[in-house]
């Protein structure tokens, strides 16, 4: 195919001397082709055009931080739900909980699998309580004498 680089141009190595390999490269095409370098390449080869696969980078993100690989939801006849998040690191990190209704189930999923949107936590907390003004001071009686008698 025209337009591809030669192995000499990209300093192709086989086997690779470093830790990166064609098998993990964005341009590798199984079983032995490269989209930008001509000829046959090996999965354990390498060249200076190596570019880590985007998929490999995505896998490193561990489900965007929560680490769950799948979620089971049991829908019960009374409207309640049991939600079970299975963690990719093993059952000791799993989470299982019951919710009385559909809203509770959705809240549980959001609480366990995502971070709040900016401002969401504050909005759920509600408005800050208004400051209570101090009690008004009672003015002393005029003239500084005793208060007038009551019930006269």
Stretch that binds ligand SF4, among 30-38, 73-81, 115-123, 130-138 (CB under 6 A): 30-38
Stretch that binds ligand SF4, among 26-34, 68-76, 90-98, 104-112 (CB under 6 A): 26-34
Among 4, 10, 44, 137, binds ligand SF4 (CB under 6 A): 10
Tell me whether residue 14 or residue 112 sits nearer to ligand SF4 (CB atom). 14
Among 34, 85, 105, 108, binds ligand SF4 (CB under 6 A): 34
Spatial distance between the Cα atoms of 111 and 83, rounded to a whole number of angstroms: 12
Site size with ligand SF4, rule: CB under 6 A: 15
Tell me whether residue 50 or residue 68 sits nearer to ligand SF4 (CB atom). 50
Residue 47 in the binding site for ligand SF4 (CB under 6 A): yes
Tell me the DSSP string of the chain: -TTPBPTTTTT-BSS-SSS--GGGBTTEETTTEESSB-SB--TT-B-TT--B-HHHHHHHTTGGGT-EEEEEEEEPTTS-EEEEEEETT-GGG-EEEEESSHHHHHHHHHHHH-PPPTTHHHHHH-SPPPPPPPPPPPPPPGGG-PPPPS--
Residue 27 in the binding site for ligand SF4 (CB under 6 A): yes
Which chain residues interact with ligand SF4 by CB under 6 A? 10, 12, 22, 25, 27-28, 34, 36-37, 41, 45-47, 49-50
């Amino acid at each position: 195919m025209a337009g591809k680089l030669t192995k000499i141009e990209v300093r192709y190595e086989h086997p690779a001397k470093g830790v990166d390999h064609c098998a993990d490269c964005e341009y590798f095409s199984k079983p032995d082709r490269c989209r930008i370098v001509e000829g046959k390449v090996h999965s354990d080869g390498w060249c200076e055009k190596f570019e880590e696969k985007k998929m490999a980078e995505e896998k490193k993100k561990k489900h965007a931080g929560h680490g769950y690989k799948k979620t089971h939801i049991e829908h019960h006849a009374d409207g309640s739900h049991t939600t079970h998040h299975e963690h990719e690191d093993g059952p000791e990190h799993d989470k299982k909980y019951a919710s009385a209704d559909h809203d509770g189930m959705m809240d549980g999923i959001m609480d366990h699998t995502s971070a709040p949107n900016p401002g969401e936590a504050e909005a759920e907390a509600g408005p800050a309580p208004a400051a209570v003004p101090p009690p008004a001071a009672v003015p002393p009686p005029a003239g500084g004498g005793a208060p007038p008698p009551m019930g006269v």
